[in-house]
A and B are shown apart, each in its own frame.
Chain A
Amino acid sequence: MRVEMFTFLLTAAICLAGSAGVVLLRNPVHNALSLVATLFGVAVLFIQQGAYFLAAIQVIVYAGAIVILFLFVIMLLGVDKAEGLDRDPILGQRPAAIAAAVAILGLSLTALLSVGSRVTGQASTLAAIDGSEPNINALAKVLFTDYVFAFEITSVLLTVAVVGAVVLSRKAGPAIDAAEFPEGTTADLLQAKHDAAAVEQGVLEEVATEDETPEGEAETAEEALR
């Protein structure tokens, strides 16, 4: 019992520190790595409660695939610059968030701690977890019998997600006209940058000609003196 308590407290500390890091750190890469810490902590808690298959899936899918996907997008977009909590454009956004936090945490803690350690609800009789069967066998049995329809819908959902991701990330071809998006498009930005560069170059040329003129005048003045 003491070992279990120690494991729980250590893991809970890691989880809370990681989730605080996700919210508070400024660099998105650090946020993603804090998320990994939290996910591993939750996986340990899964193991502690006998959900071995879900713990493995948690590590493989979440920490191994989803966070890598996050990091990949961060690197691809180059948004790994610092953006912290210092800007607050919407008036009263932060007080509203704190109020929501107090409401959520207060409600759930009141509900949890007022009943003590009792869990209301009936223990299962149909899908009971008995120690004779491995966790993955029990989960597979219930997944392919009671929830087989939801399982098949899940495969449809994954297919839709893959097709949607391909459609979204496809490079925009000539079908999209840049003139339809007049404000802030890439074409406009490029044009503005080009104009600015042209103006700057013009200024430089002007400065250069101005630099030349006094010298020429001086030379003519010297010639006149001679």
Chain B
Amino acid sequence: MLALNETWYLVLAAMIFTIGAVGLLTRKNPLVMFMCVELMLNAVNLTFVTFSKALDDIAGQAIVFFVMVVAAAEVVVGLGIIVAIMRRRQGANADDISLMRG
């Protein structure tokens, strides 16, 4: 049986990241796009923790902590923006939000 090493984790993280990127590029509901961003952030967190284990360095986990804080702040502000837009235009999707187009 194949041994479980860090490559397995990294391949899984790459797959989750790719799925998140595809969702971000194809979906148009801004909420779902945000969820895809969360997927990508989680994939990168998994990579950080894997390297933290592989290189025996706790700093990787400290960086994951900071990534989580930034993700929480990003979700709060992003959802605030989405609520503000949706109040103005019901059922808006990402293609409708072109007010700042030059």
Report which A residues bind B (CB closer than 8 A): 1-2, 4-5, 8, 12, 15-16, 19-20, 22-23, 28, 31-32, 35, 38-39, 42, 45-46, 49-51, 53-54, 57-58, 61-62, 65-66, 69-70, 73-74, 76-77, 79, 83, 85, 87, 89-90, 93-94, 96-98, 100-101, 104-105, 108-109, 112-113, 116-117, 119, 121-124, 127-129, 135, 138-139, 142-143, 146-147, 150, 154, 157-158, 160-162, 164-165, 168-169, 172, 181, 184-186, 189
Contacts and interface: CB of A to CB of B under 8 A. Distances in A.
A69 B94 CA distance: 20
B31 A69 contact: no
Given A42-B46, A66-B71, A105 B14 contact: yes
Interface residues of B, number: 77
Contact of A157 (B9, B12, B16, B69): B69
B4 A101 contact: no
Interface string B85-97: 0111111010100
A117 B88 contact: no
B7 A117 contact: yes
A123 B56 contact: yes
Please classify the interface of chain B as helix (H, G, I), strand (E, B), loop, or mixed, using the class held by over half of its residues: helix
A172 B87 CA distance: 10
B27 to A, nearest CB: 7
B81 to A, nearest CB: 6
B12 A16 contact: yes
Contact of B4 (A8, A16, A53): A8
A157 B69 CA distance: 9
5 contacts: A57-B68, A66-B38, A73-B83, A79-B31, A168-B77
A191 B69 CA distance: 44
Contacts of B84: 168-169
A73 B77 CA distance: 12
Contacts of B51: 119, 121
A122 B42 CA distance: 24
A83 B30 CA distance: 11
B56 A128 contact: yes
B76 A69 contact: yes
Contact of A150 (B28, B31, B66): B66
A66 B72 contact: yes
Contacts of B29: 28, 79, 83
